[in-house]
Amino acid sequence: SDLQKQEERGELLQPLIFVLLVLCSVLLYFKVSLMDPGFVKSEEEVKAGKSEEQSMVIPQVPSNIKMRRCGYCMVKQPMRAKHCQLCQHCVRRYDHHCPWIENCVGEKNHPLFIVYLSVQLVVLLWGGHVAWSGLYFEQSWDWLQHNILLLMSFLLIVIFTIVVLLLLISHLYLISCNTTTWEFMSHHRISYLRHSELENPFDQGVILNLWRFFC
């Protein structure tokens, strides 16, 4: 049949891949939105659950810095954790609270958040190419009436592509430095950074930083 011939020529392969990418980005969105970003559990929960501590290199912290309890949820805050007033929890390796996913980005979902941004960027670039290929510009009112929705869609895709691209680049840069958005923006207010002899005591080199983050 004609449909089978089109499939053999690969004409249906690209639309199928595009739909699968869109579906994958939607599933990643819900996964990142609904998963635990790394909430700090109370001491009783930690003892009952016997949770395993992740192996990580702790930098030398000056002795005058004391680990404190959170003034909101009263749990003992580990280093690099911060209380999110929107989530009402302390989050390990807190990066930021993302309003797009209505969840914090922290120790557990940060790598998946980067994967989601990457897939979303591919979908937007591909969608922008599809929209652009359907535009044939003419200086007439009739052309504008027939193509106004496609033109608006293309402009929206361009705006979201720029936003996602800048967000992904900024996160990859911070990951390569082994720092978080919160630490980068509030360096002067964080005790373990303000009193440290090193500007960034967590930095272990780009390759090792990326390896520890993703692997």
Distance, in Å, from the CA atom of 51 to the CA atom of 54, rounded to the nearest integer, reads 9
E strand or H helix at 96, and its extent? strand 96-98
- Residue 46, class by beta-carbon neighbours within 10 Å (0-12 exposed, 13-18 middle, 19+ buried)? middle
Per-residue DSSP letters for 12-31? THHHHHHHHHHHHHHHHHHH
Two tokens at 88? 């009402």
Two tokens at 103? 């969840």
Q: Could you say which of 90, 98, 104, 215 is catalytic?
A: 98
Query: Which residues have C-beta within 8 Å of that of residue 14, sequence separation ≥ 6?
Result: none
Per the CB < 8 A criterion, the answer to whether 182 and 96 are in contact is: yes
177 has catalytic annotation: no
**What residues act catalytically?**
98
